[in-house]
Protein backbone atom coordinates (compact mmCIF):
# COMPACT_ATOMS: atom_id res chain seq x y z
CA UNK A 1 0.00 0.00 0.00
CA UNK A 2 1.53 3.36 -0.99
CA UNK A 3 2.25 5.77 1.83
CA UNK A 4 -0.11 8.71 1.71
CA UNK A 5 2.07 10.98 3.84
CA UNK A 6 5.69 10.83 4.95
CA UNK A 7 6.67 9.36 8.28
CA UNK A 8 6.52 12.12 10.96
CA UNK A 9 10.02 12.97 12.13
CA UNK A 10 12.26 15.53 13.81
CA UNK A 11 15.17 17.04 11.88
CA UNK A 12 18.03 17.40 14.36
CA UNK A 13 21.00 17.94 12.07
CA UNK A 14 20.42 20.62 9.49
CA UNK A 15 22.59 23.64 8.69
CA UNK A 16 20.27 26.39 7.48
CA UNK A 17 23.05 27.70 5.22
CA UNK A 18 23.16 24.21 3.69
CA UNK A 19 19.56 24.63 2.50
CA UNK A 20 20.54 27.44 0.11
CA UNK A 21 19.33 26.09 -3.23
CA UNK A 22 21.00 27.49 -6.38
CA UNK A 23 17.76 29.22 -7.44
CA UNK A 24 17.52 31.14 -4.16
CA UNK A 25 21.26 31.89 -4.27
CA UNK A 26 20.78 33.59 -7.64
CA UNK A 27 17.69 35.47 -6.43
CA UNK A 28 19.54 36.80 -3.38
CA UNK A 29 22.66 37.60 -5.42
CA UNK A 30 20.56 39.72 -7.81
CA UNK A 31 18.73 41.42 -4.94
CA UNK A 32 22.02 42.31 -3.23
CA UNK A 33 23.99 43.22 -6.38
CA UNK A 34 26.44 40.35 -5.90
CA UNK A 35 28.06 38.57 -8.86
CA UNK A 36 28.29 34.79 -8.49
CA UNK A 37 31.21 33.04 -10.22
CA UNK A 38 28.75 30.73 -12.04
CA UNK A 39 26.69 31.77 -15.09
CA UNK A 40 23.60 29.65 -14.29
CA UNK A 41 21.97 27.62 -11.53
CA UNK A 42 22.83 24.54 -13.58
CA UNK A 43 26.52 25.46 -13.68
CA UNK A 44 26.44 26.04 -9.92
CA UNK A 45 24.79 22.70 -9.28
CA UNK A 46 27.48 21.02 -11.38
CA UNK A 47 30.07 22.31 -8.90
CA UNK A 48 28.45 20.15 -6.20
CA UNK A 49 30.91 17.32 -6.55
CA UNK A 50 32.98 16.89 -3.42
CA UNK A 51 36.05 14.86 -2.50
CA UNK A 52 35.86 15.41 1.26
CA UNK A 53 34.41 17.72 3.93
CA UNK A 54 36.80 20.60 3.16
CA UNK A 55 36.01 20.64 -0.57
CA UNK A 56 32.34 21.08 0.36
CA UNK A 57 33.02 23.70 3.04
CA UNK A 58 34.94 25.87 0.54
CA UNK A 59 31.87 26.20 -1.68
CA UNK A 60 29.42 26.35 1.25
CA UNK A 61 31.18 29.37 2.81
CA UNK A 62 31.71 31.10 -0.56
CA UNK A 63 28.03 30.91 -1.47
CA UNK A 64 26.98 32.46 1.84
CA UNK A 65 28.13 35.80 0.39
CA UNK A 66 24.59 36.25 -0.99
CA UNK A 67 23.09 36.30 2.55
CA UNK A 68 23.22 39.90 3.74
CA UNK A 69 19.96 41.22 5.16
CA UNK A 70 17.44 40.09 7.76
CA UNK A 71 15.03 39.41 4.90
CA UNK A 72 17.60 37.13 3.20
CA UNK A 73 17.90 34.99 6.35
CA UNK A 74 14.13 34.97 6.78
CA UNK A 75 13.60 33.90 3.15
CA UNK A 76 16.16 31.11 3.59
CA UNK A 77 14.36 29.83 6.69
CA UNK A 78 10.92 30.10 5.06
CA UNK A 79 12.08 28.14 2.00
CA UNK A 80 13.51 25.41 4.23
CA UNK A 81 10.36 25.09 6.34
CA UNK A 82 8.21 24.77 3.24
CA UNK A 83 10.37 21.82 2.09
CA UNK A 84 10.53 20.35 5.58
CA UNK A 85 6.73 20.31 5.90
CA UNK A 86 6.46 18.34 2.64
CA UNK A 87 8.99 15.87 4.05
CA UNK A 88 7.08 15.04 7.22
CA UNK A 89 9.27 17.15 9.51
CA UNK A 90 7.25 18.13 12.59
CA UNK A 91 10.07 19.52 14.70
CA UNK A 92 13.37 21.02 13.53
CA UNK A 93 16.41 22.04 15.57
CA UNK A 94 18.33 24.14 13.10
CA UNK A 95 22.04 24.95 13.06
CA UNK A 96 23.44 28.27 11.93
CA UNK A 97 27.05 29.48 11.68
CA UNK A 98 27.14 33.07 13.04
CA UNK A 99 30.90 33.51 12.52
CA UNK A 100 30.54 32.80 8.80
CA UNK A 101 28.30 35.89 8.61
CA UNK A 102 29.85 38.25 11.15
CA UNK A 103 33.24 37.71 9.44
CA UNK A 104 31.64 39.25 6.31
CA UNK A 105 30.32 42.24 8.24
CA UNK A 106 26.76 40.99 8.77
CA UNK A 107 25.68 41.82 12.36
CA UNK A 108 24.78 38.79 14.48
CA UNK A 109 21.40 40.39 15.26
CA UNK A 110 20.54 40.51 11.55
CA UNK A 111 21.20 36.77 11.28
CA UNK A 112 19.32 35.74 14.42
CA UNK A 113 16.36 38.11 13.97
CA UNK A 114 15.87 36.90 10.40
CA UNK A 115 16.10 33.21 11.25
CA UNK A 116 14.17 33.29 14.53
CA UNK A 117 11.39 35.50 13.17
CA UNK A 118 10.77 33.23 10.17
CA UNK A 119 11.04 30.06 12.27
CA UNK A 120 8.29 31.31 14.55
CA UNK A 121 6.00 32.66 11.82
CA UNK A 122 6.46 30.04 9.09
CA UNK A 123 7.01 27.17 11.52
CA UNK A 124 3.67 28.02 13.09
CA UNK A 125 2.00 28.09 9.66
CA UNK A 126 3.37 24.61 8.80
CA UNK A 127 2.87 23.05 12.23
CA UNK A 128 6.63 22.68 12.73
CA UNK A 129 8.05 23.40 16.18
CA UNK A 130 11.75 23.92 16.65
CA UNK A 131 14.69 25.94 17.72
CA UNK A 132 18.01 27.42 16.68
CA UNK A 133 21.39 25.91 17.53
CA UNK A 134 24.28 28.35 17.22
CA UNK A 135 27.37 26.53 15.95
CA UNK A 136 30.98 27.60 16.41
CA UNK A 137 33.56 27.02 13.72
CA UNK A 138 36.14 24.63 15.17
CA UNK A 139 38.79 25.73 12.64
CA UNK A 140 38.60 29.26 14.07
CA UNK A 141 40.21 30.15 17.43
CA UNK A 142 38.32 29.40 20.65
CA UNK A 143 38.49 33.15 21.48
CA UNK A 144 36.37 33.87 18.42
CA UNK A 145 33.77 31.37 19.67
CA UNK A 146 33.75 33.10 23.07
CA UNK A 147 33.32 36.55 21.49
CA UNK A 148 30.50 35.24 19.31
CA UNK A 149 28.83 33.62 22.29
CA UNK A 150 28.88 36.90 24.22
CA UNK A 151 27.63 38.87 21.21
CA UNK A 152 24.68 36.47 21.00
CA UNK A 153 23.78 36.77 24.71
CA UNK A 154 20.96 39.31 24.11
CA UNK A 155 19.33 36.72 21.82
CA UNK A 156 19.52 33.68 24.11
CA UNK A 157 15.76 33.78 24.50
CA UNK A 158 15.41 32.48 20.93
CA UNK A 159 18.40 30.12 20.99
CA UNK A 160 18.03 26.49 22.08
CA UNK A 161 21.65 25.49 22.19
CA UNK A 162 25.16 25.54 20.84
CA UNK A 163 27.07 23.26 18.47
CA UNK A 164 30.50 22.81 16.92
CA UNK A 165 31.07 22.31 13.21
CA UNK A 166 33.35 22.95 10.19
CA UNK A 167 36.65 21.18 9.44
CA UNK A 168 36.99 18.40 12.02
CA UNK A 169 40.35 16.65 11.59
CA UNK A 170 43.09 18.47 13.52
CA UNK A 171 40.49 20.45 15.51
CA UNK A 172 39.58 18.34 18.56
CA UNK A 173 36.69 19.49 20.75
CA UNK A 174 38.59 20.21 23.98
CA UNK A 175 39.73 23.68 22.84
CA UNK A 176 36.08 24.82 23.19
CA UNK A 177 35.63 23.78 26.81
CA UNK A 178 35.04 27.29 28.11
CA UNK A 179 32.31 28.27 25.67
CA UNK A 180 30.49 25.00 26.45
CA UNK A 181 30.78 25.73 30.19
CA UNK A 182 29.29 29.18 29.66
CA UNK A 183 26.50 27.70 27.55
CA UNK A 184 25.65 25.18 30.27
CA UNK A 185 25.60 27.97 32.86
CA UNK A 186 23.26 29.97 30.60
CA UNK A 187 20.87 27.01 30.35
CA UNK A 188 21.61 26.28 26.67
CA UNK A 189 21.65 22.74 25.27
CA UNK A 190 24.94 21.36 23.91
CA UNK A 191 25.74 19.29 20.84
CA UNK A 192 28.86 18.90 18.68
CA UNK A 193 29.89 17.36 15.37
CA UNK A 194 32.28 14.51 16.12
CA UNK A 195 33.28 11.27 14.42
CA UNK A 196 32.29 12.45 10.93
CA UNK A 197 35.83 12.53 9.49
CA UNK A 198 37.52 12.68 12.90
CA UNK A 199 38.46 9.73 15.14
CA UNK A 200 36.38 8.14 17.93
CA UNK A 201 38.57 9.99 20.46
CA UNK A 202 36.86 13.25 19.39
CA UNK A 203 33.47 11.73 20.23
CA UNK A 204 34.69 10.81 23.69
CA UNK A 205 36.21 14.27 24.17
CA UNK A 206 32.96 15.97 23.12
CA UNK A 207 31.11 13.96 25.77
CA UNK A 208 33.68 14.25 28.55
CA UNK A 209 35.08 17.75 28.05
CA UNK A 210 32.19 19.63 26.41
CA UNK A 211 29.38 17.73 28.13
CA UNK A 212 27.38 17.38 24.91
CA UNK A 213 23.94 15.79 24.99
CA UNK A 214 23.98 14.59 21.37
CA UNK A 215 26.72 13.76 18.88
CA UNK A 216 26.31 15.03 15.33
CA UNK A 217 27.34 12.25 12.90
CA UNK A 218 29.34 9.97 15.22
CA UNK A 219 29.67 7.26 12.56
CA UNK A 220 33.36 6.65 13.29
CA UNK A 221 32.40 5.68 16.87
CA UNK A 222 31.93 2.18 15.46
CA UNK A 223 35.71 1.82 15.26
CA UNK A 224 35.84 1.77 19.08
CA UNK A 225 33.78 -1.00 20.75
CA UNK A 226 34.17 0.50 24.23
CA UNK A 227 32.83 3.82 23.00
CA UNK A 228 29.92 2.06 21.29
CA UNK A 229 29.11 0.26 24.55
CA UNK A 230 29.07 3.59 26.37
CA UNK A 231 26.92 5.33 23.74
CA UNK A 232 24.44 2.45 23.96
CA UNK A 233 24.48 2.39 27.76
CA UNK A 234 23.93 6.15 28.02
CA UNK A 235 21.61 6.23 24.96
CA UNK A 236 23.47 9.22 23.54
CA UNK A 237 21.66 10.31 20.38
CA UNK A 238 23.70 10.28 17.16
CA UNK A 239 22.37 12.51 14.37
CA UNK A 240 23.45 10.55 11.31
CA UNK A 241 23.25 12.04 7.79
CA UNK A 242 23.41 9.25 5.18
CA UNK A 243 23.38 11.24 1.92
CA UNK A 244 25.94 13.67 3.37
CA UNK A 245 28.24 10.80 4.39
CA UNK A 246 28.25 9.45 0.85
CA UNK A 247 28.62 12.84 -0.90
CA UNK A 248 31.53 13.81 1.39
CA UNK A 249 33.04 10.34 0.94
CA UNK A 250 32.99 9.47 4.63
CA UNK A 251 31.24 6.28 3.46
CA UNK A 252 31.93 4.70 0.05
CA UNK A 253 28.28 4.13 -0.93
CA UNK A 254 24.81 4.11 0.60
CA UNK A 255 24.84 0.32 0.46
CA UNK A 256 27.96 0.41 2.67
CA UNK A 257 26.46 2.85 5.18
CA UNK A 258 26.78 1.63 8.81
CA UNK A 259 23.21 2.66 9.73
CA UNK A 260 21.91 -0.95 10.00
CA UNK A 261 24.86 -1.87 12.19
CA UNK A 262 24.27 1.18 14.37
CA UNK A 263 20.63 0.16 14.84
CA UNK A 264 21.63 -3.45 15.55
CA UNK A 265 24.10 -2.26 18.21
CA UNK A 266 21.23 -0.46 19.96
CA UNK A 267 22.56 3.05 19.40
CA UNK A 268 20.02 5.88 19.57
CA UNK A 269 20.52 6.81 15.95
CA UNK A 270 18.49 9.35 13.94
CA UNK A 271 18.45 10.16 10.21
CA UNK A 272 18.96 13.77 9.10
CA UNK A 273 19.87 15.82 6.05
CA UNK A 274 22.87 18.02 7.07
CA UNK A 275 23.13 20.31 3.98
CA UNK A 276 20.30 19.13 1.74
CA UNK A 277 20.76 21.68 -1.06
CA UNK A 278 24.27 20.30 -1.60
CA UNK A 279 23.85 16.60 -0.85
CA UNK A 280 20.79 15.68 -2.88
CA UNK A 281 17.99 15.41 -0.38
CA UNK A 282 15.95 16.66 2.55
CA UNK A 283 14.82 14.61 5.57
CA UNK A 284 12.42 12.17 3.93
CA UNK A 285 14.72 11.87 0.90
CA UNK A 286 17.34 10.53 3.31
CA UNK A 287 14.81 8.04 4.71
CA UNK A 288 13.84 6.97 1.17
CA UNK A 289 17.48 6.60 0.15
CA UNK A 290 18.38 4.33 3.08
CA UNK A 291 15.16 2.36 2.61
CA UNK A 292 16.13 1.68 -1.00
CA UNK A 293 19.81 0.90 -0.41
CA UNK A 294 19.92 -0.86 2.96
CA UNK A 295 18.28 -3.90 4.55
CA UNK A 296 16.01 -1.87 6.85
CA UNK A 297 12.53 -2.93 7.93
CA UNK A 298 9.51 -0.68 8.34
CA UNK A 299 9.98 -1.11 12.09
CA UNK A 300 13.57 0.14 11.75
CA UNK A 301 12.20 3.27 10.11
CA UNK A 302 9.73 3.69 12.94
CA UNK A 303 12.62 3.35 15.42
CA UNK A 304 14.53 6.09 13.58
CA UNK A 305 11.52 8.41 13.70
CA UNK A 306 10.82 7.57 17.35
CA UNK A 307 14.47 8.22 18.20
CA UNK A 308 14.28 11.63 16.55
CA UNK A 309 11.53 12.78 18.91
CA UNK A 310 13.16 11.12 21.94
CA UNK A 311 16.42 12.94 21.11
CA UNK A 312 14.76 16.30 20.44
CA UNK A 313 15.13 19.14 22.95
CA UNK A 314 11.41 19.11 23.66
CA UNK A 315 11.67 18.92 27.45
CA UNK A 316 9.80 22.22 27.75
CA UNK A 317 6.81 20.68 25.96
CA UNK A 318 6.49 17.02 26.91
CA UNK A 319 2.83 16.89 25.82
CA UNK A 320 3.96 17.78 22.28
CA UNK A 321 6.68 15.12 22.36
CA UNK A 322 4.08 12.57 23.51
CA UNK A 323 1.71 13.56 20.67
CA UNK A 324 4.47 13.29 18.08
CA UNK A 325 5.58 9.91 19.44
CA UNK A 326 1.97 8.71 19.29
CA UNK A 327 1.85 9.78 15.61
CA UNK A 328 4.95 7.69 14.95
CA UNK A 329 3.42 4.64 16.64
CA UNK A 330 0.18 5.05 14.67
CA UNK A 331 1.94 5.42 11.30
CA UNK A 332 1.56 2.54 8.83
CA UNK A 333 5.15 1.68 7.93
CA UNK A 334 3.86 -0.87 5.41
N1 LIG B 1 28.79 18.03 7.46
C2 LIG B 1 29.36 19.05 8.08
N3 LIG B 1 30.41 18.84 8.90
C4 LIG B 1 31.01 19.85 9.51
N5 LIG B 1 30.64 21.11 9.37
C6 LIG B 1 29.61 21.40 8.57
N7 LIG B 1 29.04 22.55 8.25
C8 LIG B 1 28.04 22.30 7.40
N9 LIG B 1 27.97 20.98 7.16
C10 LIG B 1 28.94 20.39 7.89
ZN1 LIG C 1 26.58 18.93 9.92
Q: Is 217 annotated as a binding residue?
A: no
- Order across the sheet with 268-271: list the strands: 9-15, 89-96, 129-137, 161-165, 189-194, 214-217, 237-240, 268-271
| Residue 110 lies in domain | 9-316
Whether 47 is covered by a domain: the verdict is: yes
Alpha-carbon dihedral sign for residues 23, 24, 29, 30: positive
Whether 332 is covered by a domain: the verdict is: no
Give the chain's domain count. Answer: 1
For the chain, which ranges sit under pLDDT 50? none
Whether 334 is covered by a domain: the verdict is: no
Ligand 1, atom nearest to 15 Cα: 8
pTM: 0.98
How far is it, in rounded angstroms, from Cα 34 to Cα 24?
13
CA of 95 to the centre of ligand 1 (A): 10
Whether 115 is covered by a domain: the verdict is: yes
ipTM for the whole complex = 0.98
Which residues of 75-159 form beta strands (DSSP E)? Answer: 89-96, 129-137
- pLDDT at position 2 is 56
Ligand 1 atom 1: the closest Cα is on which residue? 274
Whether 327 is covered by a domain: the verdict is: no
Angle separating helix axes 283-293 and 298-311, nearest 10 degrees? 150
Please list the active-site residues: 196
Whether 194 is covered by a domain: the verdict is: yes
CATH number at residue 125: 3.20.20.140
Ligand 1 neighbours, Cβ below 6 Å, are 15, 18, 53, 60, 165-166, 193, 196, 244, 274-275
Whether 323 is covered by a domain: the verdict is: no
Secondary structure class of 191 (helix, strand, coil): strand
Whether 192 is covered by a domain: the verdict is: yes
CA of 267 to the centre of ligand 2 (A): 19
- pLDDT at position 334 is 85
Amino acid sequence: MPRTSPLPKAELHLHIEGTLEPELAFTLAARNGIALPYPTTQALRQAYSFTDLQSFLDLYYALMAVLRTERDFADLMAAYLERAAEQGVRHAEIFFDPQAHTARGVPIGTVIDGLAGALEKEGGRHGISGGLIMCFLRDEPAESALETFEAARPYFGVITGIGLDSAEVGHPPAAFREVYERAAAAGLRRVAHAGEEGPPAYVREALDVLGVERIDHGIRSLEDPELVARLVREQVPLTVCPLSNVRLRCVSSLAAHPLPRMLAEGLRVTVNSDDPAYFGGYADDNFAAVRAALPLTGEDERTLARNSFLAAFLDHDEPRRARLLAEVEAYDVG
